[in-house]
Every structure is written in structure tokens, then in C-alpha cells.
Structure 1
């Protein structure tokens, strides 16, 4: 682990806001892929509606998480200096753009809202998100971003 251990600027009672919020879009986008797969197999419109709502919720929470992450990067030069921050940040912006496009695709009716492009975009969103989540976890575990050692 690095000796830098930069503190998170966007924090509540010492807890990084980005870390608290980022779990919501991760879960929503993964579940949107699951519900897309369920729709593809069953043609039950309920699953398509679930996907649309999950994408919407993921975008809202993802926007808040992105805002907290941007505040951390802009306000702390120690965080900006870490090379993995930039692929993480840019990758997450691409994730949100893919999810936004996916949400627009899901706005179509029924089968055309999911198969093939909605399902493809859901899979691409989740695949890229797993990479950016791994990069984000390395910022915490390897570089100590937002970690405090009160004892």
C-alpha cells in the first residue's frame, strides 16, 4: 500500500460519499442485465419494465456517485496523481453513457426494447463496470484513497 493515503473530500463523518453511493448503480446495472435475460427467455413484459426502472435508478445514483467522485478528484491533488484514477473515472463516465443509451433503447415497446440491443448494451455496461469497479477497489486497497486509520 502507498504511504500517501489521500482523504476523500466528499465525505460524511469521515466516510467517503462516492464509496457509499457507488454500490447502488452497480447493483442496478447488474440486475438490469438479469432482468433483460429473464425477458429474453420468457417474453414477460414485467421483466422489461423492471429493466427500465433499474436502469433509471442506476443512472440517478450513478450520477450522484459520479458527482462525489469528481469532487474527490478535483479537490485533492494526491488523488489526481494516482494513475489508476483516470481509467476509473473515464471508464465510469462511459458506463453511465452506455446505461443512458441503454435506457433510451429500453424505452421502446416490448421485444425491440430488449432484444438484441438492450441486452447487448446491458452486457457491455456490466462488463465495463466490473473493470472500473476493480480499478476503484484498487484505489482503496492499494493506494488507501478515503481510508482513515483511527484507532
Structure 2
């Protein structure tokens, strides 16, 4: 029979939300790329791609929120929980993506230009800010600063 030391029991578990959070970031980044492609070519295929990418990002974002709530309950994930600013940025990003999805539900050129493209760009910038804020916390944990 193996006896576990207290250091093994107190080790941090891997947070579930870390499995799902990258998917919305990728989808929202690709949404900006497809919006730019639509702006340059006026091909409706790019608008459809944007709509589907927004939908996929929102679905995985919802799954990430549920996983984040489960991580709040798990005491072993306490050291790896995101900071309050990161969690707030995630919620703002998902809210902007939902609004962007409603804008993209329109028909033709006015569904993307100018408001859909602007919302995609703002969402992308907020994704970058959220990544930087989250990376700072994980860097502090790694270096114990």
C-alpha cells in the first residue's frame, strides 16, 4: 500500500476551464480574419464563415464558463484560478461576441461592415489583453513571485 505525503495531496489539479478557453479565442480571432476577407472580397461565403465561427466560439465559451464554475468548487484548483480581471475580461469578450453574432445575423454587406468588423476587432483586442493578464498570473506562479 502506497502512502501519499501531504505534498502530493496538496498539489494543484489542472483546471478544467483551461481545456476550453483557447477555443473561443481562436474562433474570435478567425472571425476577425474572415470579416476582413469579406470586407476585401464581398463574397458572402466569408460572412457565413464568420457567423459559424462566432457560434462555435460562443458554444465553447459557454462550456468554458461552466467548467470555470466547476473549478470554483474544486479546492485543488485554487492556485491556478484566473484572476478577477481575467474572469471579467472573459465575460466581456463573450458578451461582445454575442452582440457581434446578432449583428452578423443580418443580411449582406451591412451585416459585417462597419459594425461587425469593429466588434470583431474589439473582441480580438480584448482577447489579447486577457491572454496577457492570464499569462502574468501563471508566470508569477511558476516563478513564485
- Taking structure 2 as the reference length, what is the TM-score of the superposition? 0.81
Q: CA deviation at 1:7?
A: 2.8
Q: C-alpha displacement at 1:78, in angstroms?
A: 7.9
Other-structure match for 2:89? 91
In 1: Cα distance, 2:65 partner to 2:141 partner: 20
Deviations 1:83-136 (CA, angstroms, capped at 9, x unpaired): x61100011100000000000000000111100000000000010111112222
- The SS at the match of 1:16 is coil
CA apart distance, 1:6: 7.3
The aligned runs of 1:1-151 (5 Å cut-off) are 7-8=12-13, 15-76=14-75, 79=78, 85-143=83-141
Structure with the bigger RCO (C-alpha within 8 Å, sep 6+) is 1
1:72, 1:63 → 2: CA distance?
Answer: 14
Superposition CA RMSD, Å: 2.2
Q: State the shift of 1:77 in Å.
A: 9.5
Structure of higher CA gyration radius:
2
Distance 1:78 1:16, change over 3 A: closer
Instruction: Compare the two structures and name the one with the higher helix fraction.
Output: 2
Measured in 1, the distance between the counterparts of 2:99 and 2:124 equals 14
Alignment length, in residue pairs?
A: 132
Structure 2, unpaired ranges of 5+: 1-9
Q: Which stretch shifts more, 67-76 or 43-52?
A: 67-76
Structure 1's unaligned 5+ residue stretches are: 9-14, 145-151
SS at match of 1:122: helix
Question: Is the alpha carbon distance of 1:52 and 1:133 closer, same or farther for their aligned partners in structure 2, counting shifts above 3 Å?
Answer: same
* CA contact 1:17–1:68 (8 Å) conserved in 2: yes
